[in-house]
Amino acid sequence: MKLKIAFLQLLPGKTLREQYDTGKTACDKAKEMGADIALFPEMWSDGYYLPQDEKELSSLSISKESDFIAGFRELAKKLEIAIGITFLEKHDPKPLNSFILFDRKGEEILHYSKVHICAFDAEKVLSPGEDFYAAELDTEKGSVNVGAMICFDREFPESARILMLKGAELILAPNACPMEINRLAALRTRAYENMVAVATCNYPEGMPDCNGHSTLFDGVPWLADEPGVRDMCVFEAPGDEGVYVAELDLDMLRRHREDDVMGDKFRHPEKYRILTEGKHR
């Protein structure tokens, strides 16, 4: 089973209408390119714009029942591909940085809000999400268990670990920051240690503090019948704006998950209590 993932590495517009129109065109192109899943960068509804004024921020936030979200629900159904749309979600007391995944029938299968918000910076005006979720995604090629994390979530091993424990084979990771060697290394490590694929979609060059380089790490560092190691990064986009499609070999990943020693096989959770006892110096 080989899934095709489209990375919608797009420059944002200035209005919600522009964001929808640009996103729709990109999803249409993703379908033409044979994609099974189309993934947007972080907070696409307003192009990751975070005003610190409460009223302005509130005016930009939208509900999951909004016409914008409904439009992508209908588009997923029309195109018969899964669409992972991101948005500034209306919420009390503060908005959320959210992601919804619609399957090829337009059904919502995953709704996630960023847990590790960048509260040290512009995201201090947001509320954090409550949990991580995984769900079964039906595609034309077959079924795959998917989870989601957003940008800064990748810096915490717990994010991907929880998703792996909940059954995720593929983690979809919308992003809005410079993808340099260290952040790419974090994604590589999350894929390696959990035996999961990680697909990250970033904004391109031209968006402040972003540089493209959307990636797919397939989670398979070696093959049982081949000597040496292999590069888990099976796709890395350039910095340019565009719709890029990469292929994930799920059969190969599943064989690796059955045969290798990473993931949950040799963990000792009873010895990790300090991880759940709050913050420590």
pLDDT digits (tens, 9 = 90+) for 128-157: 999 999 999 999 999 999 999 999 999 999
- ∠ CA 184-200-134, nearest 5°, is 120
25 in a structural domain: yes
> Could you read off the pLDDT of 219-256 as tens digits, one per residue?
999 988 888 899 999 999 999 999 999 999 999 999 99
Domain-embedded: residue 142: yes
The reply to whether 161 falls in a domain is: yes
Q: What is the pLDDT of residues 153-191, one digit of tens each?
A: 999 999 999 999 999 999 999 999 999 999 999 999 999
At residue 280, the pLDDT reads 63
Is the pTM higher than 0.75?
A: yes
Q: Is residue 85 part of a domain?
A: yes
**How many domains does the structure of the chain reveal?**
1
Contact yes or no for 212/240 (Cβ under 8 A): yes
| Domain, as residue range, for 32 | 2-276
In a domain, 123, yes or no: yes
Asked if residue 281 is part of any domain, the answer here is no
User: 40: pLDDT confidence band, cut at 50, 70 and 90?
Assistant: very high
Name the packing angle between helices 16-32 and 67-79 (round to 10°): 10
Q: In this structure, is residue 204 part of a structural domain?
A: yes
DSSP code of 92? S
Domain with residue 132: its CATH number is 3.60.110.10
Confidence (pLDDT) at 36: 98
pLDDT level of residue 212 (50, 70, 90 thresholds): very high
180 within a domain of the structure (yes/no)? yes
| CA neighbor of 199 nearest in space, from 99, 65, 78 | 99
